[in-house]
Amino acid sequence: MALTHKQAMARKGQMIDEIRDKFKKAKIAILTDYRGAANGLTVKEISQLRAKLREQKGEFKIVKNTLARKVTNELGIKGLEKHFENPTAIAFGYADPVGVAKAVNDFLKERKQNPVPVVKAGYMDGQVLDPRGLQALAALPPREVIFQQLLGLIIAAPTQLVRLLNEPGRRMAFIARQISEKSE
């Protein structure tokens, strides 16, 4: 059963609203060609990628190029419009951008014989990222590890200060023990 013009326009409006909301909420958006030069992703493979992205609080959404281009222009996102060619799907990340980039990168590594989806570009913090920039992002440690390293650096300075302040007392105690052992 075919849609009437009014129904088609309403559906298109809903799709535009959905894409707009996703871009507004997302901390990162990775544009991919899910069909690639060879065979594209199967439904099962798309489901596997979506599961990996869900673990990172992300999602994989197939979009119409014209609608996505319209939304990015409306939101003032410059530089992505040229990437809306061929079949496009976007990996949106809502929590940790590094985790989403890692999930997409890991999925590609698992598929060496057929490297699909092909990463076209990414968008994060007002910047358009090329595929190499996204690979560099994926190489970063997870957010929790970075916080742990930062906490370690913050705690290290006071810990060293306490050791330095305790050192003269420790030396005096050592010398006193040496003297008492000699006198016995």
Answer yes or no: do 53 and 134 share one domain.
yes
CATH of the domain at 126: 3.30.70.1730
Per-residue pLDDT at 36: 60
pLDDT in tens, 145-176: 878 888 888 887 777 777 777 778 778 777 88
Per-residue pLDDT at 143: 72
- Number of domain units in the chain: 2
Question: Which residue range(s) make up the domain with 49?
Answer: 5-140
Per-residue pLDDT at 101: 93
Answer yes or no: do 20 and 55 share one domain.
yes
**What are phi and psi for residue 40, nearest 5 degrees?**
-85, -175
Per-residue pLDDT at 26: 94
Per-residue pLDDT at 177: 83
Answer yes or no: do 129 and 169 share one domain.
no
From residue 26, give the alpha-carbon distance in Å to each of 103, 167, 175: 15, 51, 63
Answer yes or no: do 96 and 126 share one domain.
yes
Task: Collect the ranges in the chain with pLDDT lower than 70.
Answer: 1, 36-39
Answer yes or no: do 38 and 53 share one domain.
yes
Per-residue pLDDT at 113: 72
Answer yes or no: do 75 and 158 share one domain.
no
Of 151, 61, 24, 49, the residue nearest 102 (C-alpha) = 49
Please give the Cα distance from 97 to 87 (Å, whole number). Answer: 23
H or E, element range at 95:
none
Answer yes or no: do 113 and 183 share one domain.
no
Per-residue pLDDT at 169: 77
From residue 117, give the alpha-carbon distance in Å to each of 110, 127, 132, 140: 11, 21, 15, 21
